[in-house]
Structure 1
Amino acid sequence: MAAQPTVTPMDSSTPKKPSSKPKGPAPYTFDDLILIRATVPEVIQQTWTNNMEEWAKGVPLPQYHARERLLASTAFSSEGRLITWILVPKLDADVTTAYKEHTTAAAENQDQNKEKGVRGGFDPKDVTEENLDRILGAVETYERPGIMATSGEGDDSIKQVSSMSVASVYAPSKYRNHGYGKLMMRLLWQEIGNKGASFSFLYSDLGPHFYGNFGWTARTSTEIVIPPAMALPSPRSICTSATESTRTTRASTKDVALESVTAESLQELVERDAQLLQETMKSKVQNEPSKTTFVAVTPEVRAFQWFHARAWFYAKDILKFKDAEMKELNYGVRVPGTKDEFVLWHHDFTDDNLFILRWRIGASMSLDNTGDSDTTALAFVQAAQQEAKKWKLSKIVYWNADESLAKLLNLEIKYRNHSIPCLGFLKPSEHSDKVEWIMNEKYSW
């Protein structure tokens, strides 16, 4: 029988945070600040320029902006689903006296003829450098379909709802440590509530507690990392009874023929995935004894297209792969003739990963200790290894993988301390004791 997978923390160190010491007086008071929706292209582009200092990872500004424009033009981001929010001073606001005195003195000490620092309020239509410099923080939200159900309330409790994904939370380094980021998230929580979302979620790189102050609570999340060169296990003995009797059931991975998931076949797989999620919700509410509300992000084809567009841009415009190679940048693989046996992945060239977005072997999504199930899983892993090698990606990463897969591969399960999933529940059930986020794989990121 395969050994139990070891579960360990990723790294006990706390993620790095900016220095807590302000660089001078705060330029604006909280009462003078508002969170507004950015609609002018130049204003939105300025938020990209601001966050480049953290996220560009060596990509030059023209290409970085080109990537963001491409992703903003996808179906996933269209029709108002993507909103860029900015924290700015009101139009009639001005900086604090302490800040004005501090910057004036600094300019005089440096023998400057003009004062250093920002001045005045923000005009949403002004695209001058002086006005754009008044953007104190920015954050993006994506409206996404979700599903929600509460146990003990019958099948009628299963509802299709709206959810809100939060991303790209950023404050320019020169404006940090004045509490502006915290204010921005408090105001954003109110805006999300006003838009009617049932739940919201984000992935924190500031540890498990920061976003809990504003409504998003951290959730335990694991990952397994599969090296592309790792030898897959040979047929093993599987426990079939409480007396530990065993039998060999698994065949070679060569017994499973796979085919690439193309743009044409993706739609039917995602639609079937959403149907199976509905069935999973039904089973959850029928079998959960305690009052529990279950939520999940509904699979939709445009989200996978967004991931693919991101990978395509890096491969073509940054890494300069040849056109012949680009034609093979597929969405994943599936067992031919099936709609519920597939793996979908994302070529994350930025962080050198092949990310598993969705993994499904039958309705349960987990292995059942049968030869067929194990064989299909190994075939999927083998295909992912080949894909990672083809594109020179150093590892395969799978968030919240089923424990049985880790057992099968004899891999360690690690708790993540990066991209920590945090869930905000805006419409709790009146009698619900807890909220469970299911199917929280990289797809939801």
Structure 2
Amino acid sequence: MVSTYNLSELILIEATPEQVIITNRNSFVEWGAPHLTLEEYLSRERLLSSLPFTSKNFTVWILVPRSTPETTTNILSSCETFIRPALVQPSQKLYCYSIASVFTPPEHRKNGYASYMMEMLGKKLKENFQGVGFSFLYSDIGTEFYSRLGWKVFGHKEIQFNIENENENLNDITSDIANAIPLSWTDVEDLTKYDCSLIENEIVVSSAKYGAVVLPTFECFEWLFARTNGDDQIIGFVIWTYNFQEEILQILRFRSLNTNVTKSLIKRAKLYASHYNFKKITVWNPNLKLFTDTIIIEGGELVERTKSLPSLAWYNNDKGFNDDVEWILNENYAWC
């Protein structure tokens, strides 16, 4: 028989290494099976926690009875946070918290545990940590749950390039992308540093009073890759990962100077997607000024996402969250 608790009997704490293993075992049914075995899933989580992105910046939080905080059998709900470098405009370098893997074991659901955990977590992140401008997460359960707890949903459009029935000759694609070259691992590290330096100078807050930017650092790409297993002037680049489960090439970060560069990079992505017989390429919240012609020419479609909805809680002023915040570069690289 499963015990239930009054919310006043519960506390939110940082998990011990032993409790972390239990949370991973619990969440295997949600994010591991059936594509991974339990041991493969646990091994992957150990690897991810050892990478630079997480080794010093990662915390697993658990909701447990106040009377038995050391428990490994009554972990009622859990989540993870990552500390990440960010910009808060105008002109502040701060940190933000990325929240992930919110999970309640099936036997403990419908008791309000996840809501209470997130309410307590929001207070901890806002009140107990200095130099944090905001936190954010991606919701797979719609817009209401996290919104009422303080995380406002932001734009969640994406361009989908469907290539399942692509009849374009691959040789023609190759001739069109002669100036688009593959990147080495060292190139990616150098390029992300270059990208971050450009972002600091480029960010312009449109009609909003504040701008929130999660910086696309090399460490975050390294973590994402581990999880998913001519001219010297750089006028554009694209970084992607492969989602083999859904047969999608997911573009994580997209920088382009103009629509011609955009077309060339999308053609390159198509070439690699075709190599794996993937059905789709996705680009989250793109700058439509750089994509308008490309969407038409390359057969893309602008759609509203129904999963991984970006949601942000603002901590950078005394008034709390307001509508004067713009999430800039709300792209796929920030997901975790």
Do Structure 1 and Structure 2 share a fold, with TM-score over 0.5? yes
SS in structure 1 at match of 2:182: strand
Residue in 1 that maps onto 2:107 = 174
Higher strand share: 2
Residue in 1 that maps onto 2:143 = 208
Runs (4 or more) in structure 1 with deviation over 6 Å come to 429-432
Residue in 2 that maps onto 1:88 = 64
Contact 1:224 1:413 in 2 (8 A): yes
| 1:138 maps to which of 78, 89, 111 | 78
Q: Deviations over 1:377-411 (max 9, x none)?
A: 22211211121122343321111123242532322
Asked if 1:191 corresponds to 2:124, the answer is yes
Deviation at 1:57, TM superposition (A): 3.4
| 1:407 maps to which of 279, 283, 293 | 293
The 10-residue stretch of structure 1 (164-173 or 348-357) with the greater mean CA deviation from structure 2: 348-357
Q: Deviations over 1:195-228 (max 9, x none)?
A: 2321010000110111012210111210111123
| 1:303 maps to which of 216, 220, 226 | 220
SS in structure 2 at match of 1:412: strand
Larger Rg: 1
Distance change in 2, residues 1:354/1:255 (3 Å) = closer
Structure 2 segments unaligned to the other structure (5+ residues)? none
Residue type matched to 2:150 in 1?
G
Residue in 1 that maps onto 2:155 = 220
Contact 2:156 2:309 in 1 (8 A): yes
Residue type matched to 1:357 in 2?
L
Q: TM-score, structure 2 length as denominator?
A: 0.89
Residue in 2 that maps onto 1:242 = none
- Distance in 2 between the 1:350 and 1:158 partners? 40
Residue type matched to 1:361 in 2?
S
Residue in 1 that maps onto 2:316 = 427
Residue in 2 that maps onto 1:254 = 176
Residue in 2 that maps onto 1:418 = 307
Residue type matched to 2:327 in 1?
W
Contact 1:228 1:386 in 2 (8 A): no
SS in structure 2 at match of 1:177: coil
Asked if 1:46 corresponds to 2:22, the answer is yes
Residue in 2 that maps onto 1:440 = 330
- Distance in 1 between the 2:156 and 2:252 partners? 15
Residue in 1 that maps onto 2:92 = 159
1:309-348 to 2 correspondences below 5 Å = 309-312=226-229, 337-348=232-243
Deviation at 1:259, TM superposition (A): 1.7
Residue type matched to 1:388 in 2?
A
The 10-residue stretch of structure 1 (62-71 or 377-386) with the greater mean CA deviation from structure 2: 377-386
Residue in 2 that maps onto 1:353 = 248
Q: Deviations over 1:410-437 (max 9, x none)?
A: 2221011111000100113779861000
Deviation at 1:255, TM superposition (A): 5.9
Contact 2:177 2:268 in 1 (8 A): no
Q: Deviations over 1:23-43 (max 9, x none)?
A: x99611111100100132x21
Contact 1:272 1:339 in 2 (8 A): no
Distance change in 2, residues 1:216/1:442 (3 Å) = same
Aligned length: 323
SS in structure 2 at match of 1:304: helix
- Distance in 1 between the 2:196 and 2:167 partners? 33
1:386-405 to 2 correspondences below 5 Å = 386-404=271-289, 405=291
Structure 1 segments unaligned to the other structure (5+ residues)? 1-23, 93-120, 124-130, 150-156, 234-250, 313-334, 368-372
Contact 2:155 2:310 in 1 (8 A): yes
Deviation at 1:132, TM superposition (A): 1.6
| 1:57 maps to which of 33, 48, 55 | 33
Q: Cα RMSD (Å) of the superposition?
A: 2.4
- Distance in 2 between the 1:305 and 1:186 partners? 31
Q: Deviations over 1:145-191 (max 9, x none)?
A: 00011xxxxxxx30111000000000001000010010000111012
Residue in 2 that maps onto 1:278 = 200
Q: Deviations over 1:261-303 (max 9, x none)?
A: 111111221112112211222xx24xx4x55101110121111
- Distance in 1 between the 2:246 and 2:153 partners? 23
